[in-house]
Structure 1
């Protein structure tokens, strides 16, 4: 019977340690769960960028009956080249690690970090530390770590099946005993399976800017830096070292799901609750939008109601749901940003699913009148979906920076930052980098990349390369195809989101590390929009739109306000029906101009259909021609049920 002791791998890095880790966080978590590990720690270098993806995979594993504990940690290179892994015991420890990562990233150029040893003297009282020495005698660092992490630091022992394993282990045992550091088994893992060894070498070659053949000692000495079976680990390590890894994991009780995120409250005047202030603004917006002449008897305290019973019911329904889901401060923050822009004469316009909200219309965030349009609020916020709302606001592109800097000034750089965008390998960039690493000539790599589109399916590379005249029997070509297929989708670096701001009541670095963006005066968090959605963190999208700048200039030239433009102008629709729309936002493309004379929009809702139907989905689904025929009365409309008839 196999001896398979319990084990926790506490020293994994993923491909979010860019150009080093050779596996996605999801692959590491899934494989560790499959091997029966009790826990796995994702500890990318001075980064938390991959931990949320690991959390998502841990949830999927639990649904399949494979329970595994995910520990969010981070690792750091010390001045002597050794590696220190920090793990949080609780939420305070997680905050301490995020703050440390933020300091290291903010004090260095983008893509780097600066953490001299004195930095670790700051408060890390709620963190556990694992030290992976280089193998050389370093008693000074061993004693330093033992004193700064009393009872909370271990020396990690790795076994790479090299010829000097026994000698190295004996030396480290002596050093650990001298510094009074307990021992634990670890894998110093950089890939989930041994089969990623070649990809790891290619990543190292890309990182060092040389072919794989010239890596030398910069490549891994063996392929053992992967997640190994518990039976093999039992042969490599003493039982007490394996048991110690599990004991360490049990001391780490923090879960990412426990993050306590709160939206800022300074947008609420003293003496009022967010709910009270939001209702006050909505009622003021009702009067501003629809006037104060009552259509119905008003509610107590508000006088005659200027809106219909149906619209009042819709607004009340939205306010109740917003309150139940505790989103009032989010709406108030967006309102404050839009108010700032309009006070400065900056054109702005909310768009997307937020246009389904009557509350957003009352706050002046959107301009789609719910009294004229039959909007579906549940497309924006729904109890059933339990997803955070996402309000996108376009600003004049030449003046959006004023809005961005206003947000930084109001909330401070410690509480406001842009979301990240993960820049990943696409086919062309993957082919160029992998070909260079494998020693292909510049002409060959250019030829391969030039004939590949960014949307190409990696599985189709073999046929595409054959069409270009390359010999598929050549071993190097086969290696190239295999490695490109693996590296496409690998994260390359973090960039800033086009405008998604994350704002918090507490310093953001207590939730997620913050680093410098490539642009001056910008900072970004280490999570992208999907990560934010997973954890329920809210963002405000402050986007730039050149057409708003053009509209503003046009209005200045003709001496009009945008509110003076009539909503339904027959002469304008006559021009639209003739496809006289060059320079008209959203209906100026060739495809749109070809559709306009066929659909003949005559009202605003027709334009909504026009913009929506000229899309890949309706076109590929063969929906366009049947719709036009039914619109003209040339084809019968069959509804699946009477319930759907009213909706459709």
Structure 2
């Protein structure tokens, strides 16, 4: 009966959570049901899992629609039929074609057409006609007796009740970007599309017993037997599993001479232990596939970083997948892989954003387009954005929508419509909004990928699964993460720029040397890390300064304790205090001192939980990792947690530990595990941070150009140009004779790339460079226009940006001449002139020049000024204090003037709104501010620009900031 059920994965249509749908069906005594979401199967495996849990027979299928038009419902007789449906959906979605009006028959798929679409004698063997309860009266005029086998009952299930029907209508209005009042009947489902008791359905169709029987036979003939949580990944890399085992062993031992010239028994034992577990867990092929990808990247000279929990594996280190020594840094393999894991781990490999797509393309080509896909995900409705959407579709004016969106959840407005918007906004919480792409996950399946999921084709151009990582994991597919990271682009580009500009070749793999370099250490200690991967944010630079960090292990710890959970819990502050007062650290037990001495008594890493569970609590390493994961929250209430807790306490009591000590250790582990960070992650991050910082320290100009050209980092591009100027580089604006698409450096001269003139078309940017490289420099204004023919509007932009200053003519005069010449030459073909043509001579009036007009043009067209941005400030600069003076002014009131760089919103312990600010002062130095609730409420920020502030200088472990008590925005000077 229920062969057409939908969840909220019929995006912006259905209102059922997947589990709720199954749970309600089970409560109504439904024996079998079909999940048929619109044009997809994103939650199919959750549906199957929940159906098996609640004793309902699951049937998988899909409702095919073109826009508003229901074409047909497809039901899979078995796993083969589900794969056929997924392939069918994928083909049309990837090609961007509408679905055909008829489904080409397949013996493993039933097709249910809406009543009236086709006559029974027009249908194939597995084609049926679905009749809704509301359509029973139409059957009177149909020749039912002649074709009893072609009619089935189709009761669509889309929403739960009247309230959710209203929510459905709101979703449809949001999807169609229209007012609810303007929805047409075909835009929405019928109000009867909810669960009706089976007895009621049978009563409505009591005159058509044959149809009831045919529906029951359809349900009996369909089903899905796929086993969940069993390995579905590519089984072998080579010819057989045994060949894979031997190959992995060979590759591991081949790496010993490079990684460990002095081989020890500890190293050999670790290798053998890992190889044994990898083989038992059928993970040989995964290692070999990742290694294959790495070897391809190396062959193309692509930079990469292997990070994540995979860095806990010595086998991965020996193969060159990762570059963090797990022996040296005491990293546990069990954190990555052990026989107790209920979910498979994954490797995280970072590539430059420019190289990543080629690596992905290699994986698709190497392992088969029908067996590889990017991993999908879905974006959820966010509360404030949802309130805005709902406000729009119910017709509220913008001012009222802004007011509603600004309210915190829990406020009850007086207006009825406002209350309704807030009520339905809460109902939409956690609803999926639309399909998206996971940051880097790739699935490599043994069977065709359609066996498990339909595919989308997003703009990126790679087929992407409709299932997310949790559903992939549930069915038994684990992801390989091929991630895009701009920090690697910084490094690669900087090395190339240094080679071109200075003729110096850099071996960026000498990380051990970088870690002992005093100049590099000085920059870390002083937070001089702008542009460096993972260590450039205001909070991180402050932390490095507070720790006076100058070594690798401290940087690794900093990368972990900066995480929101650790910092907000107070443990970051405790760590800093303990770091500077090591002799005052009080440990709960001598054993805990032995385990946590490296981190001064604070659990900093996930590995610390494993370490304490094993060495203090007597659990084996695999059990300790299970404990870490159960404590993290996902399995917090599981039966496994109870068993481990009993074993932990029992083992500790056998050791004679005091009861209060055992309980406190357990409490600290449980409170920390939920937001802990992997030491292997931090160690991998720190390696790249050192590489970035080495380049910044010794080649600062080239490094900042590399950062600018990768558009990557914590800050906006203008502030990297600011840092570039501080290195001593001479920055020039765009020039048609010197600039390229990206910013270039020659000696100390840096020419801004055309890519920063956003109003220019990409075609023109490329044409300027190509024409110049093909036929030489532009000689005159007329020569440039004749060869490039930019068009009047774009030519004016180039002139205002200063890109034609090679002519030696002032902008205003140039604009007059350019527009005259452009008009004269617009009909001529673009080419280099064979003979110099004399330019038209005419007399222009003398134009008045203003000192700030260039800077304001640059600000408008580039987003930053080539010179000093503070030249634009319309304010008195006398009586100010500066960032470099703050250490001498602690506790005193100061007046500041700053250009806003970035703000960070936060909340006090009383849940009051506050803000942290970062500014540049008139000397170009960075300074930090604190805006407590009273201050930020009285003096809020109003966008980017300059601010005058008054406040008190405060200090925390040697880091100085200003608590702002008054603030006002300062305007820019007028041009004239």
Q: How would you bin the TM-score normalised by the shorter chain?
A: 0.7 to 0.9
Do the aligned partners of residues 435 and 143 (structure 1) sit closer, same or farther apart at CA in structure 2, a change above 3 Å counting?
farther
Structure 2: how far apart are the matches of 1:233 and 1:643? Answer: 66
CA displacement at 1:511 relative to structure 2: 2.8
Larger deviation, residues 608-617 vs 87-96: 87-96
CA displacement at 1:244 relative to structure 2: 5.2
Partner of 1:107: 95
1:30 to 14, 20, 23: 23
2:448 aligned with 1:507: yes
2:387 aligned with 1:431: yes
CA displacement at 1:256 relative to structure 2: 4.2
Partner of 1:284: 254
Deviations 1:426-482 (A, max 9, x none): 123312321222122344334544x37xxxxxxx5342xx6xxxxx23221122111
How do 1:355-370 residues align onto structure 2 when only pairs under 5 Å count?
355-370=311-326
CA displacement at 1:320 relative to structure 2: 1.4
Provide the secondary structure at the position in 2 that maps to 1:541: strand
Deviations 1:148-185 (A, max 9, x none): 41xxx54333224xxxx5522434xx254444434443
How do 1:393-432 residues align onto structure 2 when only pairs under 5 Å count?
393-432=349-388
8 A contact 1:20–1:204 mirrored in 2: yes
Larger deviation, residues 81-90 vs 611-620: 81-90
Structure 1: how far apart are the matches of 2:18 and 2:477? Answer: 21
Do the aligned partners of residues 495 and 139 (structure 1) sit closer, same or farther apart at CA in structure 2, a change above 3 Å counting?
closer
CA displacement at 1:359 relative to structure 2: 1.3
Do the aligned partners of residues 436 and 625 (structure 1) sit closer, same or farther apart at CA in structure 2, a change above 3 Å counting?
closer
2:244 to 274, 278, 288: 274
2:588 to 639, 644, 647: 639
2:345 to 375, 385, 389: 389
Larger deviation, residues 205-214 vs 369-378: 205-214
Provide the secondary structure at the position in 2 that maps to 1:566: helix
CA displacement at 1:582 relative to structure 2: 2.3
How do 1:440-589 residues align onto structure 2 when only pairs under 5 Å count?
440-449=396-405, 451=406, 460-463=408-411, 472-519=413-460, 521-556=461-496, 557=498, 558-567=504-513, 568-571=515-518, 572-589=520-537
CA displacement at 1:345 relative to structure 2: 0.9
CA displacement at 1:543 relative to structure 2: 0.9
Structure 2: how far apart are the matches of 1:444 and 1:78? Answer: 36
2:275 aligned with 1:324: no
CA displacement at 1:216 relative to structure 2: 3.7
Provide the secondary structure at the position in 1 that maps to 2:512: coil
Structure 2: how far apart are the matches of 1:446 and 1:636? Answer: 51
Partner of 1:253: 223
Provide the secondary structure at the position in 1 that maps to 2:509: helix
In structure 2, stretches of 5+ residues that fail to align are 499-503, 596-610, 613-976
Do the aligned partners of residues 144 and 332 (structure 1) sit closer, same or farther apart at CA in structure 2, a change above 3 Å counting?
farther
Do the aligned partners of residues 583 and 166 (structure 1) sit closer, same or farther apart at CA in structure 2, a change above 3 Å counting?
closer
Larger deviation, residues 618-627 vs 391-400: 618-627
2:186 aligned with 1:186: no
Do the aligned partners of residues 579 and 206 (structure 1) sit closer, same or farther apart at CA in structure 2, a change above 3 Å counting?
closer
Deviations 1:568-607 (A, max 9, x none): 3151334322323222222221112222233233532222
Partner of 1:157: 131
Structure 1: how far apart are the matches of 2:541 and 2:440? Answer: 30
1:196 to 147, 153, 164: 164
8 A contact 1:107–1:114 mirrored in 2: no
Structure 1: how far apart are the matches of 2:584 and 2:299? Answer: 51
2:110 aligned with 1:128: yes
2:12 aligned with 1:72: no
CA displacement at 1:205 relative to structure 2: 2.0
Do the aligned partners of residues 197 and 262 (structure 1) sit closer, same or farther apart at CA in structure 2, a change above 3 Å counting?
closer
Structure 2: how far apart are the matches of 1:614 and 1:213? Answer: 49
How do 1:323-362 residues align onto structure 2 when only pairs under 5 Å count?
323-362=279-318
8 A contact 1:155–1:176 mirrored in 2: no
Give the TM-score of the pair, scaled to structure 1.
Answer: 0.83
Answer 1 or 2: higher relative contact order, Cα 8 Å, separation at least 6.
Answer: 1
Provide the secondary structure at the position in 2 that maps to 1:130: strand
Structure 1: how far apart are the matches of 2:189 and 2:93? Answer: 30
Partner of 2:780: none
8 A contact 2:455–2:464 mirrored in 1: yes
Larger radius of gyration: 2
- Count of residues in Structure 1 that have an aligned counterpart in Structure 2: 586
Deviations 1:356-399 (A, max 9, x none): 11111112111111231101112212322221121110011222
Provide the secondary structure at the position in 2 that maps to 1:273: helix
Structure 2: how far apart are the matches of 1:223 and 1:526? Answer: 28
Structure 2: how far apart are the matches of 1:114 and 1:506? Answer: 25
Structure 1: how far apart are the matches of 2:510 and 2:432? Answer: 48
1:94 to 78, 82, 88: 82
CA displacement at 1:92 relative to structure 2: 1.6
Task: Give the root-mean-square deviation of aligned CA atoms.
Answer: 2.8
Structure 1: how far apart are the matches of 2:66 and 2:574? Answer: 66
Structure 2: how far apart are the matches of 1:374 and 1:91? Answer: 46
Structure 2: how far apart are the matches of 1:341 and 1:71? Answer: 43
8 A contact 1:16–1:44 mirrored in 2: yes
CA displacement at 1:68 relative to structure 2: 1.9
Deviations 1:477-515 (A, max 9, x none): 122111111223222221222221112234322332122
In structure 1, stretches of 5+ residues that fail to align are 1-7, 292-305, 453-459, 467-471
Structure 1: how far apart are the matches of 2:469 and 2:175? Answer: 27
Deviations 1:20-66 (A, max 9, x none): 2222222212221222211221111221112133235446xx2xxx3
